[in-house]
Amino acid sequence: MAVAPLAALHRKLFDETDGNKFARLKDRLLKKHAADERQAVLAILIAYARDGQLLHWRAFLMTDIVALAEPGEYGDFFSWSLDIDGLAYWGVDGMLKSMGKAAYAPLVALATAENAKLSVRAKAVKSLAVFSRQPFDAGLPYDPGHWKAEQLRLADVLAWQGDAYPDGAGHAVPATHASLEYPGTPLEKAAARLEKKLAASRKKEQDLAQPSNWLTIASAADMAGIAQRWALPEHYRRFLACHSPLRVFIDSRQYFQGLSLYGAAGLIKAQHGYAWNPVSGEAIAGWPEQYLVIADAGADPYCLDLGAVADGDAPVYRAEHGMGAWRFERHADSFIDFLNEIATAA
């Protein structure tokens, strides 16, 4: 008697010893059977996560299991996974998806367990923050695997537990200038073009605990600090004041390793290693003092020439780093031209 396709895949998965072949079998299982036989597929994946012979794949399957499971399902499995090395990290999300607020107490216990892996403890705090809309993750990296022990904010988590786990308000959206919606000037139109591209990027991935790819209103303190150091061309000054880039990164082949566009909060620090030594504060020999670094692509600086300001704008120059000496070439005739180029590339 012929073996049913799903049963055949089940057997092949458990027999396979080659990781690459296993990956193809797993993808075939999901593509051909997940939609119509979700529960059966989940049973296979969970069985492998418990007892499969390729240990690293037992961990990798957790994201597929969490994605396929629906609220209220497999709480026992996800609870069990919290005690298993390699499974606990994504088991945290499975707990919350399956059990909702009933998962809070065991996950707080996991977060505070000093014998647990730091990455797993951080994942518990991060996922609790997202699910409850509490600010335990404010300002911290999107990936909790990069958190340090002192960033866990356990006192806040325990205080929240003591208050019976209230829901929070979530993270506020960064403040933006109205001209992004109703641009009038060439500068505003260029910024609005870029904002449309950034908004599309944010829809794909955005963590308001550490927002990225926003054009925001700069703080008065940041603008005052900049004004003490440089007399900026009016177009660039207004861009920073009204549309200050917040962790803006343009992932485009047009820019080597992508382009980081600086905002008001980081503009002074961004000159470190180019214009002056960050330790001594002294100017670095060979750097043109009129060049202000406003962006970089893989450490290749893009600079506004403050010595060539005309009609409220200035040209942008670029150089490659690591060449022994800076050899600048004119890249754009004005900052507005540069901004339009970035908007096109984004």
DSSP secondary structure, 43-97, as one string: HHHHHHHHH-S-HHHHHHHHHHHHHH--TTS-HHHHHHHTTSTTTHHHHHHHHHH
CA distance 244 to 231: 17
Report pLDDT for 2. Answer: 44
61 and 121 housed in the same domain: yes
Looking at 162, 186, 207, the residue that finishes a domain is: 162
182 and 46 housed in the same domain: no
| One-letter amino acid of 50 | R
Average of per-residue pLDDT across 5-24:
94
227 and 338 housed in the same domain: yes
Looking at 134, 162, 190, the residue that finishes a domain is: 162
The CATH number that applies at residue 203 is: 3.40.1580.10
Q: How confident is the model at residue 1 (pLDDT cuts 50, 70, 90)?
A: very low
Q: Is the pLDDT of residue 33 over 80?
A: yes
Residue of 101, 97, 119 lying closest to 110 (CA atoms): 119
End-to-end CA, the chain: 57
Distance of CA 66 to the CA centre of its chain: 21
Percent with pLDDT over 70 in the chain: 99
Q: Structural domain of residue 211, as residue ranges?
A: 178-345
124 and 219 housed in the same domain: no
Average of per-residue pLDDT across 188-196:
98
Question: Is residue 326 situated within a structural domain?
Answer: yes
| One-letter amino acid of 258 | G
Give me the sign of the Cα torsion angle 65, 66, 71, 73.
positive
Average of per-residue pLDDT across 258-285:
95
45 and 112 housed in the same domain: yes
Q: Is the pLDDT of residue 233 over 50?
A: yes
144 and 204 housed in the same domain: no
Average of per-residue pLDDT across 53-57:
94
320 and 327 in contact (C-beta within 8 Å)? yes
Question: Is residue 172 situated within a structural domain?
Answer: no
82: tokens are: 């919290």
59 and 198 housed in the same domain: no
CA dihedral 29, 30, 32, 38 (to 10 degrees): 100
Q: What rounded mean pLDDT belongs to the chain?
A: 96
Counting Cβ atoms within 10 Å, is residue 217 exposed (0-12), middle (13-18) or buried (19+)? middle
Report pLDDT for 124. Answer: 98
Percent with pLDDT over 90 in the chain: 96
85 and 123 in contact (C-beta within 8 Å)? no
Question: Is residue 167 situated within a structural domain?
Answer: no
Region for residue 86 given its phi and psi (left: phi exceeds 0; alpha: psi -120 to 50; beta: otherwise):
left
94 and 81 in contact (C-beta within 8 Å)? yes
Looking at 92, 127, 162, the residue that finishes a domain is: 162
Report pLDDT for 344. Answer: 97
152 and 285 housed in the same domain: no
Residue of 248, 183, 194, 244 lying closest to 219 (CA atoms): 244
Counting Cβ atoms within 10 Å, is residue 102 exposed (0-12), middle (13-18) or buried (19+)? exposed
Q: Is the pLDDT of residue 313 over 80?
A: yes
197 and 336 housed in the same domain: yes
Helices (H), 112-208: 118-132, 154-162, 186-204
- Find all residues with CB under 8 Å of 85, minimum gap 6, and list them: 117
Q: How confident is the model at residue 164 (pLDDT cuts 50, 70, 90)?
A: very high
Average of per-residue pLDDT across 83-108:
97
13 and 78 housed in the same domain: yes
303 and 229 housed in the same domain: yes
The CATH number that applies at residue 125 is: 1.25.40
Average of per-residue pLDDT across 240-257:
96
Question: Is residue 169 situated within a structural domain?
Answer: no
Residue of 199, 142, 200, 154 lying closest to 176 (CA atoms): 199
Half-sphere exposure of 283 (CA within 13 A, CB side): 8
Report pLDDT for 9. Answer: 93
Give me the sign of the Cα torsion angle 294, 295, 296, 297.
negative
Half-sphere exposure of 275 (CA within 13 A, CB side): 18
| Long-range pairs, 152-157, Cβ under 8 A, ≥24 | 152/111, 152/121, 152/122, 152/125, 153/125, 154/111, 154/112, 154/125, 157/108, 157/111, 157/112, 157/125, 157/128
Question: How many structural domains comprise the chain?
Answer: 2
157 and 188 housed in the same domain: no
Question: Is residue 170 situated within a structural domain?
Answer: no
Question: Is residue 12 situated within a structural domain?
Answer: yes
Report pLDDT for 193. Answer: 98
Question: Is residue 171 situated within a structural domain?
Answer: no
